[in-house]
């Protein structure tokens, strides 16, 4: 499975997953032109999408979703709450409800979803399975707290794309008003570097070989701080793969989700 994170942060999020030449887009939080440009940079053809899948309705995740699904003439998946929130924008789009109690096929992938703790209508975390390779990519961002359901969903993921939104100290001393700081750090907000590390400590298993840190704050975090927080925890657990950091302003270099490759990289 090939993974291309087209960008991640408060100004837009999008992830392209490809298997056997077929692509599914998870979130489309950029405008159509920006989304198309970034996809072209990493070799993704948005006109050939099999599906667009949304984690929730906030603009930084759903801004370009209807346009992308319309252009590719593909279905758009989302929870019932997400689709209801976006209903005025979905005219002409084949909207498919994404249940949280059973797997659903989307292109070459099998999707599993669960509710998350975030201030949206019905936000979800995703587990995207590739039956051809057996690999499973977990995607969990915009979650104020890692619920039991989230931890259960992600327990066997071989690749995790996980939020590390803010550094606790930088958030407390940063430029946001107190109410905004409380919202970010609250149960409907975002995971800190520390919380991401704690969750990864629990989710680590010998088959986990790829971790991507996502949705970093421009104002209250730094890539080096996020990486240091989670790497220290993962290395203590015996993790031998790579820790990558998704950027807001440019796509992450695409990578193959393949256990053998990352095991070898860990020996370098």
Rg (CA), the chain: 17
Q: Check residue 260 and give its pLDDT.
A: 59
Q: Check residue 189 and give its pLDDT.
A: 96
In degrees, to the nearest 5, what angle opens at C-alpha 55 toward C-alphas 43 and 128?
Answer: 60
What residues in the chain have per-residue pLDDT under 50?
262-268
DSSP SS3 for 6: strand
Q: Which of 267, 26, 38 is nearest to 126 (CA)?
A: 26
Sign of CA dihedral 153, 115, 251, 234: negative
What dotted CATH number matches 2-263? Answer: 3.60.15.10
Q: Where are the domains of the chain?
A: 2-263
Q: CA 121 → CA 81, 117, 124, 148, 267, distances in Å?
A: 5, 10, 10, 19, 44
Q: What are 29-43's pLDDT values in tens digits?
A: 999 999 999 999 999
The mean predicted confidence, pLDDT, of the chain is 95
Q: Check residue 263 and give its pLDDT.
A: 44
Q: Check residue 126 and give its pLDDT.
A: 98
In degrees, to the nearest 5, what angle opens at C-alpha 47 toward C-alphas 45 and 51?
Answer: 95
Q: What are 257-266's pLDDT values in tens digits?
A: 986 554 434 4
Q: Check residue 19 and give its pLDDT.
A: 96
Q: Check residue 266 and give its pLDDT.
A: 41
Q: Check residue 9 and give its pLDDT.
A: 97
């Amino acid at each position: 499975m090939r993974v291309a994170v087209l960008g991640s942060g408060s100004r837009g999020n999008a992830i392209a997953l490809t298997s056997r030449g077929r692509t599914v887009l998870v979130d489309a939080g950029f405008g159509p032109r920006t989304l198309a440009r970034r996809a072209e940079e990493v070799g993704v053809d948005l006109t050939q999408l099999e599906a667009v899948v949304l984690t929730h309705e906030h603009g930084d995740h759903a801004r370009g979703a209807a346009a992308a699904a319309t252009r590719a003439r593909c279905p758009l998946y989302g929870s019932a709450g997400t689709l209801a929130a976006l209903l005025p924008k979905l005219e002409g789009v084949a909207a498919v409800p994404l249940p949280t109690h059973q797997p659903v096929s989307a292109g070459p992938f099998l999707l599993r979803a669960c509710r998350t703790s975030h201030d949206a209508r019905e936000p979800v975390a995703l587990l995207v399975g590739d039956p051809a390779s057996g690999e499973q990519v977990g995607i969990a961002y915009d979650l104020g707290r890692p619920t039991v359901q989230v931890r259960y969903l992600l327990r066997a993921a071989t690749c995790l794309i996980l939020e590390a939104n803010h550094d606790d100290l930088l958030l407390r001393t940063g430029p946001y008003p107190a109410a905004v700081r409380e919202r970010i750090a609250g149960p409907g907000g975002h995971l800190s570097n520390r919380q991401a590390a704690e969750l990864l400590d629990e989710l680590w298993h010998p088959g986990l070989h790829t971790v991507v840190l996502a949705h970093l704050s421009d104002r209250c975090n730094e890539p080096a701080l996020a990486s240091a927080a989670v790497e220290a925890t993962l290395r203590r657990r015996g993790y031998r793969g790579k820790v990558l950091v998704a950027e807001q302003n440019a796509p992450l270099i695409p990578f193959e989700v393949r256990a053998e490759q990352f095991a070898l990289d860990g020996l370098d």
